[in-house]
Amino acid sequence: MDLEQDLLRFETRRHFFNRCGMGVGKAALASMLAENAMAAPAASANPLAVKPTHFPAKVKSVIYLFMAGAPSQFELFEYKPKLVEYDGKVAPDSLLAGKRFAFMDTFAKEKPKLLGTRRKFARHGKSGQWVSELLPHTAGVVDDLCFVSGVNTDNFNHGPAKCFVNTGSVRFGRPSMGAWATYGIGSESSDLPGYVVLQSGPRGPRGGAALWASGFLPTAYQGVPFRSGGDPILNLSNPDGVTNTTQSRTIEAIRDLNMTKLGETGDPEITTRIAQYEMAYRMQTSGPDLIDFTRESKETMEMYGAEPGKASFANNCLLARRLVQRGVRFVQLYHTDWDHHHDLTDPLDQVCREVDKPVSALIRDLKRNGLLDSTLVIWGGEFGRTPMGEVRDAGKVGRNHHIDAYTIWMAGGGIQGGRVVGGTDELGFNPMERKIHVHDVQATILHMLGLDHTRLTFKFQGRDFRLTDVAGEVIREITG
């Protein structure tokens, strides 16, 4: 256990013994505790209590739009006329030397050819950023987006690479970014989990729960998967035949009996347990309200393309705004099916349609609610796709995994939008000037939350671990 936690714990105990005294009668104790029993749990008892940041934070919350499967930057944001010009030419060996790709055998059989995009690009917004025809709505908010181009990562397979973006390691079992954030500074919501995960698309993201795990941090910090239809959290509804009245009476009875036990043993864990039952009850009562979209205006629903009760990315975006509004620290949305090896036509159109409108709606909605300044929004996948085409089915062309240079964007928290940070060469193979690594992105996200990535550590198996391993540098061009 580390020093700070120790002190906190010590304080709790001191407080307990000083105020309660071991000799004080049970009745006195019970009445003392009953006074604020239904109030929010004491800071020290709640692992998600707000904790001080290392330095003033730029944002309170993060919404991470994770595009699982790795979107093709060349079809969306990276306008590369040279690549179009050299379309169909065999990729020069000098560019491929020393690189490792997924599905090496495909590239070994036949030398890969460069692939220029078939999509139309145009400049958008006041800033004149390039966006393709696939994302017309995103193009409408381009002045709020800061593109980070030429991001590179370590592993070319989906599972490990997703794990890497989320936990800073290709090895499964490390704490995820949201877990680090809530471990570091807690959450401002007293009736919802601090770290919420939302999913949409035809299947779950590769890697599953490992992507939002708490690893060696206490499980209180793990991401809680919400569903956009039905019960948002597992076991949030009362069992059949248990009304809210019965449930609250049940919790009261448990509380009173636990207090008797507390008086007997003086075990501070019981104080925590009592607080957690109160929190569970508040989650139960606020959960339905959270997912109840009936108070949202028709205009808002249409802007997102949200439909009540439907499991969609659009609903999740709206839910994300509602979560952030309620003080949730870290919200992560997964939308799957971006892995376009075979075909960059219809399947890509489809997934772009699913995310484009809701994403722009989220930005606009956060902005008009005054939340964009205190929320960091990130859009990106686990890696990008190759400048070379990949032919798996005759007559169709897709792109392979590319880990040396891909594109994400960030918005909110005062980040100046309408610009590109970084950049890649004319063919999009490599970063142009300095490399921006995934660990740098992670350092930047923590920085926006007021956390120094080198100081946010946890001791495990003899080592101080951190999200950024032994690397990472805050991208100052982004944070300003």
Partner 1 sequence: MIRRLPLFVAAAAGLGAQNADVAFFETSVRPVLRTQCQACHSERNKASGLSVETREGLLAGGNRGVAAIKPGDPAGSLLIEAVEHAGTLKMPPTGKLKPEQIEVLRKWVAAGAPWPAGEVSRKRAGGDHWAFQAVKRVSPPAPSVAAWAKNAVDHFILARLDQEGLKPSPEADRVTLIRRVSLDLTGLPPTLDEVRQFVEDRSPEAYDKVVTRLLASRHYGERWGRHWLDIARYADSDGYTIDAPRTMWRYRDWVINALNLDMPFDRFVIEQYAGDQLPGASTDQLVATGFHRNTPTNFEGGIDFEQYRVEAVADRVATTGAAFLGLTLGCARCHDHKYDPVSQREYYQIFAYLNQTDEISTEDERYDYLRPTLEVPTTEETARSTAWHAQFQALSGELVRYVRQLKSQGVDAKQDLGLRERMKNLREMRRQQPRITTTLVMRDRSEPRENYIHLGGEFTRKGAAVQPGTLSILASVKPAGATRLDLARWIVDPGNPLTPRVTVNRFWQHYFGKGIVETESDFGAQGSKPTHPELLDYLASEFVRSGWSQKHIHRLIVLSATYRQSSRNREDVEEKDPYNKLLARQSRLRLDAEILRDSALRVAGLLTPTVGGPSVYPPIPEGAMAVTQVKRPWPVANGPDRYRRGLYTFFYRSAAFPSLLVFDAPDATSTCTRRVRSNTPLQALTLLNDQAFVEFAQAMALRLIDEVKTGDGERLDRAFLLALGREPRAAERDRISRFLNTQRDEFKTHPDEAKKLAAQPVAPNGDPATMVVVTAAVPEGRDPVELATWTSVARVIFNLDDFLTRE
Phi-psi region of 168 (alpha: psi -120 to 50; beta: other; left: phi over 0): left
Closer residue to partner 1 in complex, CB, 279/344: 279
Give me the least distance between CB of 230 and partner 1, in Å please. 7
463 touching partner 1, by CB under 8 A: yes
289 touching partner 1, by CB under 8 A: no
394 touching partner 1, by CB under 8 A: no
For the beta carbon of residue 471, count every other beta carbon within 10 angstroms.
14
Task: Name residues contacting partner 1, limited to 199-258 (CB under 8 A).
Answer: 199, 203-210, 213, 218-220, 224-225, 227, 230-231, 233-243, 245-247, 249-251, 253-254, 256-258
C-alpha to C-alpha distance for 42 and 8, rounded to whole angstroms? 12
Contact yes or no for 474/421 (Cβ under 8 A): no
Contact yes or no for 101/400 (Cβ under 8 A): yes
Encoded amino acid at 201, one letter? G
167 touching partner 1, by CB under 8 A: no
Among 362, 307, 305, 310, residue whose Cα is nearest residue 333 = 362
- Kindly tell me which residue out of 19, 26, 89, 123 binds partner 1, with binding defined by CB under 8 A: 26
- Kindly tell me which residue out of 40, 277, 325, 414 binds partner 1, with binding defined by CB under 8 A: 277
Q: CA of 29: how far to CAs of 8, 34, 174, in Å?
A: 22, 8, 41
Closer residue to partner 1 in complex, CB, 281/409: 281
43 touching partner 1, by CB under 8 A: no
C-alpha to C-alpha distance for 66 and 406, rounded to whole angstroms? 14
Task: Name residues contacting partner 1, limited to 319-378 (CB under 8 A).
Answer: none
- Which listed range, 196-204, 302-310, 372-380, 402-410, lies at the site for partner 1 (CB under 8 A)? 196-204
Interface with partner 1 (CB under 8 A), residue total 96
5 touching partner 1, by CB under 8 A: yes
90 touching partner 1, by CB under 8 A: no
Give me the least distance between CB of 258 and partner 1, in Å please. 5
Q: What is the DSSP string of 22-85?
A: TTS-HHHHHHHHHHTTTSPPPGGG-TTS----SS--S-SEEEEEEETT---HHHHT---HHHHH
Closer residue to partner 1 in complex, CB, 69/387: 69
Contact mark string toward partner 1, 108..147, x via CB under 8 A = ----------------------------------------
Q: What does the block give as tokens for 43?
A: 């800071």
For the beta carbon of residue 260, count every other beta carbon within 10 angstroms.
13
